[in-house]
Every structure is written in C-alpha cells, then in structure tokens.
Amino acid sequence: MGAIGDRGVICMAPGVSRTADADRNECSPHPQLCVSSEWVDPMYDRLLLPTDMSPGVDRAIDHAIDAATRYDAELHVLYVVDAEAYSSYPGDEYVHEFEGLEGALENAGRDAVDEIAERATAADLSTVTEIRHGVPHEEIIDYAEEADVGLTVIGSKHQSEEYRRLLGSVAERVARLAERPVTIVKTPVETA
C-alpha cells in the first residue's frame, strides 16, 4: 500500500503502491499521505495521555484508552503541576500559602491520573502514572521523549479564535513543538 522513495519518503494511497520521487513530488494521482520513513509502522507500544482535569480532556481519555486497547499499548498518564500557577507572586509572605497551593494541585493531579489509570486497568491496559512540576507543554514533550512514547493523545477545548490568539493552548504548543506524533481530541465548550 505504500512505497519508500529515493529520499526516504513513503507515499500511501488506497490500492496503489508506487515509489515516490521526492524531488518531483510524484506519487499517485489518488489522495495520499506522505510521511517520513521514520514513522512508517503505526504500531505504538506506549501512548501518553496528559491531563489537566478540565472537561476538555474527557473525550481524549476515551480516545487514548481505545487507541491503547487497539494497539495493545502501555498507557502513560501525566499530570503537570503548572509552576506558574503557584509561583506567580513574589515575596516571602506568600511562600507558606503557595506551598499549600502546590500540594493541593499535586494531590488533585494524583487523583486525576489515578482515576484514569483505574479506567485503563478496567480495560485490561498496563498503565504508568506520573506527576511533574514545570511548564506543562515542555514537561509533556520531555516526558514523551524520555519514555519513548509513540503517540501523545491530548485533549483541547474548542475555544474561539480570539481566545486562542491571545492565550494559545497547551495542546497547540505540544502539537507544534513535539517531534513525535500528537493527536488532539477537541471537546466543544458550552457557552452560558
């Protein structure tokens, strides 16, 4: 169904197998997917599901569990305690208060990854849970590299273009900066 071209590019088209010439961008006249030969085998041994406990991650949980089941893959569940959330105010008078906030965020994250791990275990999946501290998109990308994750499945709330332009999103940053495959599962946001 696919062929490796002279430049290590694979072209896949339904019912067609033809070597691509990467210089001429030539393959089949049919719809196709051309990818680097590095990611040819879509069998994933490890999937990563980062969670932030928001409603936007619900569909991603279902998608990640389904994908891990289909590939018989180990599911890694990651929660990142956002360092900016508890360290945005300078001064010693806040140290004790924010140590409490950091602990509360870590406990909430632990509960979230444990709940997802229970769901995955009920689906007969092997799971690994991890809590990290730092900048969420950086920690997600670093973890995927360190754990040799084949696919990251990340949830995203469908926000307005203006919201995304002003604030961006962790999912967008991960997809843009990661060198490994990322699937973004969008969840619509209900407006009040």
Helix (H) or strand (E) holding 68: helix 58-71
Q: Is the confidence at residue 31, as pLDDT, over 90?
A: no
Q: For the residues 13-42, what does the mean pLDDT come to?
A: 44
Residues 69 and 125: their CA atoms lie apart, in Å, by: 7
Which residues, other chains included, contact 191 with Cβ-Cβ below 8 Å and sequence gap of 6+?
none
d(CA 153, CA 100): 30
The mean-pLDDT minimum among 3-7, 34-38, 110-114 falls in 3-7
In this structure, what token pair is assigned to residue 106?
A: 């870590």
Q: Compute the average pLDDT of residues 150-162.
A: 80
Write out pLDDT tens, residues 71-87. 999 999 999 998 877 66
Q: Once rounded to an integer, what is the mean pLDDT over residues 121-129? A: 97
Which domains can be identified in the chain, with CATH numbers? 2-37 (no CATH), 46-188 (3.40.50.620)
pLDDT for residue 33 is more than 70 = no
Helices (H) and strands (E) in the chain, counts: 6, 8
Q: Encoding tokens for residue 6?
A: 């002279």
Q: What is the mean pLDDT of residues 141-162?
A: 87
Is 18 or 96 the better-scoring residue by pLDDT?
Answer: 96
More confident: 116 or 172: 116
Average pLDDT (12-36) is 42
Residue 146 has pLDDT above 90, yes or no: yes
For residue range 158-187, list pLDDT tens digits in order. Answer: 666 665 554 558 888 999 999 999 999 987
Whole-structure pTM value: 0.70
Q: What average pLDDT score do residues 46-64 get?
A: 89
- In 3-state terms, what secondary structure has residue 96? helix
